[in-house]
Structure 1
Amino acid sequence: MRREGLAVLIILVSLLAMTLVGVAVVSPIGAQSPDAAADRVVSVEATGGASAVPDRAAVRVRAVAEGDDPGAVRDELAAETDTLRSNFERLGLSEDDYGTDEYRVRSPRVPPRESENVPAFRGVHGFEVTLEDPDRVGAVVDAAADADVEVDTIEFTLSDAVRTDLREEAIANAMSDARAQADAIARNGDLHVTSAASVDATQRNVSPVRYEAAAMATPTPESADTSVETGDVAVEYAVEVTYNATA
Structure 2
Amino acid sequence: MSAATTHVGIIDYGMGNLYSVAKAVEYLGGKAIVSDQASELAATDRIIFPGVGAFGDCMAALEARELSDFVRVAAQTRPFLGICLGMQMLMDCSMEHGEHAGLGLLPGRVIPFPEEALQAADGRRLKIPHMGWNELHQLVEHPLFAGVPQNAYFYFVHSFYVEPSTPEILAAFSDYAFPFCAAMAADNLFALQCHPEKSGTTGLRLLGNFLGWDGDRGESCAI
Question: Which structure has greater helix proportion?
Answer: 1
Q: Tell which has more relative contact order, 1 or 2 (C-alpha 8 A, sep 6+).
A: 1
Q: TM-score, normalised by structure 2?
A: 0.23
TM-score, length-normalised on structure 1?
A: 0.21
